[in-house]
Amino acid sequence: MIEPKQTQPPMGKPRDYGFWVKLATRASVSVALTLVIVKLWAWISTDASSMLASATDSMLDTLASLFTFFSVRYALQPADHEHRFGHGKAESLAALVQSALITGSALLLLVHSAQQWWQGESVSKPTLGIYVSIFAIALTLALVVLQRVAVKHTESKAIAADHLHFQSDLLLNSAVIVALGLSAYGWYWADSLFAILIAIYLAYGAIRIGWEAFQGLMDRELPEPDKDKIVAVLKSTKGIHGWHDLRTRASGPMRFIQCHVELDDDLSLREAHDIADGAERELHELFPETDVIIHMDPLSVVPARRRTSSTSD
């Protein structure tokens, strides 16, 4: 059996990776905190449900950014004596907590907005809310650009997820401007309606994030396209007649691949090792951050019902 091996990033990458990840997460937390303060002030001044919805989303952004800030740092720690498979699942745990927080906040926002609609309360100072939303869009847009550069340099999945979340905030703040604009012309119901729609949108996103996090914690198999690439490597490796018990999973940035390969009975141990090692190198080229374990079986000990021929489609 080949010992698990983890590839190392190219020379110079760790410093660049750490720089961009830290810069992006610090900027994310700073922007989120700034928007929380400004939007809460605007909500108190305007009493607009849509502004409360936007402030609630910014508070969730702050929590999400803080979770990302700490979970990324913890997840990137190398495997140690007590965590031999690394710390990658910290990201999934953080996402699961985020999902619960977002769902609870969305429900509270839904109740508040429905109550305001029922009571027919009007929005005071809608123009102030519009100016605050424009400020939020400008600040968020700057953060999104920075995150995009960080993702380009690091390919960090956590930063990419945060990037997508803040992109959705651009749409949310635009919706707030529309809602407040309609309220300024006497369509008071628009504020509550948009807030309810935002609450539903937040709940939907939270459920989706929670489901993906749960699947990660339950060691779901890699996507089919990735598994097809693994099978293609096994098929193309000279000397491998078949394989079985292929298992895959992901934990944070790390992938894990395990399988049994079927080789000729009369190969020497060194020849068998070289064949399996060649397949392992090919897999590492496809998936750089991957832990691969390949077990070598003589063809004669593999039951026919378990074989997967390397020549099959």
pLDDT value for 253: 66
- Using CA atoms, how far residue 220 sits from 34, 204, 206, 223, in Å, is 37, 22, 19, 9
Each residue of 177-186: b (16+ CB within 10 Å) or e? bebbbbbbee
Q: Which of 191 and 313 is assigned the larger pLDDT?
A: 191
What value does the CA radius of gyration of the chain take, rounded to a whole number of Å? 25
Q: Beta 254-263 vs 242-251: how paired, if at all?
A: antiparallel
Local confidence band at 201 (pLDDT 50, 70, 90 cut-offs): confident
pLDDT per residue as tens digits for the range 7-41: 344 333 444 666 887 788 889 889 989 988 988 88
Report which of residues 158 and 173 the model is more confident about.
Answer: 173
Rounded to whole angstroms, the Cα distance separating 269 from 281 reads 18
Question: pLDDT tens for residues 109-128?
Answer: 677 667 666 655 555 566 77
pLDDT value, residue 75: 63
Q: Give Cα separations from 118 to 27, 50, 108, 145, 292 (angstroms).
A: 39, 15, 16, 40, 59
| Overall average pLDDT of the 66-78 stretch | 71
pLDDT for res 309: 56
**Cβ distance 155 to 191 under 8 Å?**
no
Amino acid residing at 221: E
pTM, two decimals, is 0.58
147 contacts 28 by C-beta, under 8 angstroms: yes
Which of 87-101, 215-229, 288-302 is predicted with the least confidence, judged by mean pLDDT?
87-101
